[in-house]
Amino acid sequence: MVESLKDFRRSKYCGEVSLKDTGEEVSLCGWVHRIRDHGGVIFIDLRDREGVVQVVVEERTNPDVYEKAGRLKPEWVVGVRGRVRRRPEGTENPKLRTGYVEVVCEEIRVFNTSETPPFPVDEETHVSEETKLRYRFIDLRRSSMRENLLFRHRLYQITRSFFTEKGFVEIETPVLTKSTPEGARDFIVPSRLHPSKFYALPQSPQLFKQILMVSGFDRYFQIVKCFRDEDLRADRQPEFTQIDYEMSFVGEEEVMEIAEELLDRLFRELLGVELKRPFDRISYREALERYGTDKPDRRFGLELIDLSEVFRETEFRVFRSALEKGGVVKALNLRGVSLSRKDIEELTSYVQGLGAKGLAWLRVEEGGVSSPIAKFFSEKERSLLLRKTGARSGDVIFFSADSRENVYRILGNLRLHLGRRFNLIERERWDALWVVDFPLMEWDEEEGRFLSLHHPFTSPREEDVEILREALKTEDLAERKRLVHSVRARAYDLVLNGEEIGGGSIRIHTTELQETIFKLLDIGEVEAQEKFGFLLNALRFGAPPHGGFAFGLDRLVALMRGLDSIRDVIAFPKTQKGICMLTSAPDYVTPKQLREVHIKVDG
């Protein structure tokens, strides 16, 4: 049944056969996509990586081949030799690249048969994610998955030529290494040769790319796998890909310019889309104040409105106590949507899921308001509130009164939820936005110390360095917090349609400043040496001023393809629980393997 490939060589991809080939003989290799027997004529849709072409087998002209074609089944691997002809008028399929032609079959070779696949190779059948991932080799035959991966391939190529043209050098950094400072948990790999010792998989090439700057490779880039052992939140992957770069003798403007130019080029070449440049910039503080998040989706309005001043003296206990505790009262004004009681209940349970106690709301009506809480407001508060929110009849205002962080989180999420639920988002628009002026560090209540917002190698603004030195001198924690919180980082995040697609910073390049930062972060000398000694050492030997950036490639590709999940643009992704369904990794290893790496496991 199975035949040899001997003397049979492909002349073209199925998906590439076109009118230009009319009259020519072609040899195609592929998978039987669909087969239709019309009695006397069999149509085979033959599929390969580039697409599908229609093959016609006629009993009248070729009875033997016809008989063979009748035995083919979906997903068998075959070779077809035949002549290309224009499809008869009325049977063309303009939706297919090959839709104007067909191949009149003269020979079929069966290279292999196939079991019946667990799901058909089409876009229509609903298949559970688990099954798709378990049979990823079949899932990847679907045209959407094929196109995602081919798109991703083109994106790599454009990226590589872009950086090469700009004078960047591609250098690989180690995968078996030491902990890197991105703040997530490391994946660790035991060492056989060094009992009790472990490698860490890199969370990013951060330290190595900085060292490359010290070595004088003043423009580096890499398309690189990174690993972070995080609790699996929605749509994260434990291993993911970054487009990573670093430059010497530059400030933030040059680093940001490269990111803009690359994105501009990718959009132009891959989607034919012109991004609005230069990208807008927004400060971290303003992003939080207006959108409740540091990655704003500006494709719709519904901004957060501060009402703290309106309610400063209010009798309404809920608002008042939030304000007295140093919190804020903010609101969203939803316009143009008529909400039912059930909608409001659903929105209430949505914010409760985010930890809010409830959802205070108010509907503006002709000549008044209707709201369970309006009776607590004074006349003045009511009119000020309507003025500040610009509310008109029909609008519904949602309130949140709590600590600043909680209000941002609750209203920021509610804003997005409303945007999606009521279709307020301009889906056709591409909105790229820089978020800048991040604070360098934030006080972490749980740990009782400052933590870097990016990583500890991010440089403070030059004009703020003095404040850091002062902060170190004071013993008064409140004063120290005030000073440190006012220090801005030379960091920048890039946000596209409300998703963070990259981030970077200008780095600290002097040992002295690095030491000050470590002191403020409460990282002792021993710990610093232990963790990042190799970088600190390098900084002592002529480190140039430098900075860089990294794009999250998977997220970028998913966004460009209009997909919600990065799993759809990764050939072999893990499930939400971090499992590779195809190989069933992570898996047990043999007792011998464990002994070799000097590990005893419980249970």
Q: Please state, in angstroms and rounded to a whole number, the distance separating the CA atoms of residues 166 and 264.
A: 14
Provide long-range contacts, Cβ within 8 A and 24+ apart, for 38-46.
42/66, 42/69, 42/70, 44/69, 44/72, 44/80, 44/105, 46/14, 46/78, 46/80, 46/103
- DSSP-assigned states of every residue in 277-345: SSPEEEEHHHHHHHHSSSS---SS----EE-TTTTTT-S-HHHHHHHHTT-EEEEEEE-S-PPPHHHHH
Cβ-based nearer residue to ligand ASP, 57 or 258: 258
Binding positions for ligand ASP, 139-168, rule CB under 6 A? none
Cβ-based nearer residue to ligand ASP, 98 or 514: 514
Cβ-based nearer residue to ligand ASP, 78 or 550: 550
Q: From 3-11, 57-65, 306-314, 545-553, give the range in contact with ligand ASP by CB under 6 A.
A: 545-553
Contact with ligand ASP (CB under 6 A) among 311, 438, 549, 551: 549
Contact with ligand ASP (CB under 6 A) among 328, 550, 557, 570: 550
**Paired residues of 83 in beta bridges:** 25, 104
Cβ-based nearer residue to ligand ASP, 247 or 401: 247
In the three-class reduction of DSSP (H, G, I as helix; E, B as strand; rest coil), residue 239 is classed as strand
CB of 561 to ligand ASP, least distance (A): 22
Query: How many CA atoms does the CB half-sphere of 312 hold within 13 Å?
Result: 3
> What tokens does 5 get?
């490939």
Query: How many CA atoms does the CB half-sphere of 546 hold within 13 Å?
Result: 28
Interaction between residue 98 and ligand ASP (CB under 6 A): no
CB of 240 to ligand ASP, least distance (A): 10
Q: Is 45 exposed, middle or buried (0-12, 13-18, 19+ CB in 10 A)?
A: buried
Cβ-based nearer residue to ligand ASP, 244 or 264: 244
Contact with ligand ASP (CB under 6 A) among 50, 59, 182, 431: 182
How far, in Å, are 425, 444, 511 from residue 449 at the CA level? 39, 6, 22
What is the x/- site pattern for ligand ASP, positions 478-517, by CB under 6 A?
A: -------------------------xxx------------
Cβ-based nearer residue to ligand ASP, 172 or 346: 172
Q: From 44-52, 74-82, 94-102, 546-554, give the range in contact with ligand ASP by CB under 6 A.
A: 546-554
Q: Please state, in angstroms and rounded to a whole number, the distance separating the CA atoms of residues 460 and 441.
A: 10
Cβ-based nearer residue to ligand ASP, 484 or 550: 550
**Paired residues of 363 in beta bridges:** 370, 396
Interaction between residue 238 and ligand ASP (CB under 6 A): no
Q: Please state, in angstroms and rounded to a whole number, the distance separating the CA atoms of residues 177 and 155.
A: 28
CB of 244 to ligand ASP, least distance (A): 6
Cβ-based nearer residue to ligand ASP, 255 or 433: 255
How many residues bind to ligand ASP according to rule CB under 6 A?
A: 9
Q: Please state, in angstroms and rounded to a whole number, the distance separating the CA atoms of residues 462 and 490.
A: 9
Interaction between residue 202 and ligand ASP (CB under 6 A): no
Interaction between residue 269 and ligand ASP (CB under 6 A): no
In the three-class reduction of DSSP (H, G, I as helix; E, B as strand; rest coil), residue 82 is classed as strand
Cβ-based nearer residue to ligand ASP, 206 or 371: 206
Q: Please state, in angstroms and rounded to a whole number, the distance separating the CA atoms of residues 561 and 289.
A: 31
State how beta strands 101-112 and 51-58 pair.
parallel
CB of 491 to ligand ASP, least distance (A): 8
Cβ-based nearer residue to ligand ASP, 204 or 371: 204
CB of 203 to ligand ASP, least distance (A): 7
Number of H helices, E strands in the chain: 17, 22
Cβ-based nearer residue to ligand ASP, 209 or 567: 209
Q: From 17-25, 57-65, 147-155, 543-551, give the range in contact with ligand ASP by CB under 6 A.
A: 543-551
Amino acid identity at 32: V
Interaction between residue 204 and ligand ASP (CB under 6 A): yes
8-state DSSP, 20: G
Minimal CB distance residue for ligand ASP: 204
CB of 490 to ligand ASP, least distance (A): 11
Interaction between residue 548 and ligand ASP (CB under 6 A): yes
| Whether the Cβ atoms of residue 250 and residue 168 lie closer than 8 Å to each other | no
Q: From 263-271, 441-449, 542-550, 568-576, give the range in contact with ligand ASP by CB under 6 A.
A: 542-550
Cβ-based nearer residue to ligand ASP, 460 or 503: 503
Question: To which residue do tokens 């009164």 refer?
Answer: 401
In the three-class reduction of DSSP (H, G, I as helix; E, B as strand; rest coil), residue 370 is classed as strand
Binding residues for ligand ASP, rule: CB under 6 A, are 182, 204, 206, 503-505, 548-550
